[in-house]
Structure 1
Amino acid sequence: MNDIYYEDRGDLEISGAGKSGGGKFNRVEVSGAAKINGDIDCVEFEAAGAAKFEGNVKTVTYNVSGATKCTGNVEAETCNISGAGKIGGNLNSKRSNIQGSLKICGNLTGETIDIQGATSIVGDCEAEDFKCSGAFKIGGLLNSENILVEIGGKCEVSEIGGRTIKVKRGLWSVGILSKITKAIFNYALDELDCNVIEGDEIYLESTTARIVRGTDVVIGEKCTIQRVEYKNSISIDPSSKVIEQIQL
Structure 2
Amino acid sequence: MAAKTHDEPRRLSLTGTGATGGGSYEKARVLGDAVVHGSLDCVQLAVTGTMRVHGELNALKASITGTISAEGLSIGRLRLTGELASRDAASVRELIGTGSITVQERLHVDRLRLSGELQAMSCDASDIHLRGKAAVPGRLDAGSIELQLYGDSSVGELVGDRIEVSRPAWWTRLFGIFFRPSRQARLSAHHIEGAVVRLEHTRAHTVRGGSVTVGDGCEIGAVEYTEELIVHPGAVVKERRRI
Whether the TM-score (by the shorter chain) exceeds 0.5 is yes
Choose between structure 1 and 2: higher strand proportion.
2
2 CA distance for matches of 1:8 and 1:107?
Answer: 36
2 CA distance for matches of 1:103 and 1:176?
Answer: 26
1:49-85 superposed Cα distances (whole Å, 9 cap, x missing partner): 1221111111101221212222x11111111222133
For 2:65, the aligned partner's letter is S
Residue segments in structure 1 that go unaligned for 5+ positions in a row: 1-6
1:10-41 superposed Cα distances (whole Å, 9 cap, x missing partner): 10000111321111100000121111111111
> How far did 1:189 drift?
3.5
1:96 matched residue in structure 2 = 95
Q: TM-score, normalised by structure 2?
A: 0.90
Query: Quick one: structure 1 residues 55 and 176, their matched pair in 2 at CA, closer, same or farther if it must change by over 3 Å?
Result: farther
Residue segments in structure 2 that go unaligned for 5+ positions in a row: 1-6
1:166-204 superposed Cα distances (whole Å, 9 cap, x missing partner): 11111597357487478xxxx984011100001111100
2 CA distance for matches of 1:226 and 1:94?
Answer: 36
Q: Secondary structure at the match of 1:174?
A: helix
For 1:205, the aligned partner's letter is E
Over the aligned positions, Cα root-mean-square deviation in angstroms equals: 2.0
CA contact (8 A) 2:173 2:180 kept: no
Q: Secondary structure at the match of 1:30?
A: strand
Q: Secondary structure at the match of 2:17?
A: coil
2:3 matched residue in structure 1 = none
2 CA distance for matches of 1:213 and 1:241?
Answer: 15
Q: Secondary structure at the match of 1:33?
A: strand
1:141 matched residue in structure 2 = 139
1:125 matched residue in structure 2 = 123
Q: Secondary structure at the match of 1:58?
A: strand
1:247 matched residue in structure 2 = 242
Residue among 186, 197, 204 paired with 1:191: 186
CA contact (8 A) 2:63 2:79 kept: yes
Q: TM-score, normalised by structure 1?
A: 0.89
Query: Quick one: structure 1 residues 178 and 166, their matched pair in 2 at CA, closer, same or farther if it must change by over 3 Å?
Result: farther
* 1:1-248 alignment, distance < 5 Å: 8-70=8-70, 72-121=71-120, 123-171=121-169, 174-175=173-174, 177=176, 180=179, 189-248=184-243
Query: Quick one: structure 1 residues 171 and 81, their matched pair in 2 at CA, closer, same or farther if it must change by over 3 Å?
Result: farther
Aligned length, in residue pairs: 236
Query: Quick one: structure 1 residues 36 and 181, their matched pair in 2 at CA, closer, same or farther if it must change by over 3 Å?
Result: farther
Query: Quick one: structure 1 residues 65 and 89, their matched pair in 2 at CA, closer, same or farther if it must change by over 3 Å?
Result: farther
Percent identity of paired positions between Structure 1 and Structure 2: 24
For 2:122, the aligned partner's letter is D
For 2:93, the aligned partner's letter is K
CA contact (8 A) 2:125 2:142 kept: yes
CA contact (8 A) 1:149 1:167 kept: yes
1 CA distance for matches of 2:141 and 2:12?
Answer: 37
1 CA distance for matches of 2:117 and 2:53?
Answer: 22
> How far did 1:139 drift?
2.1
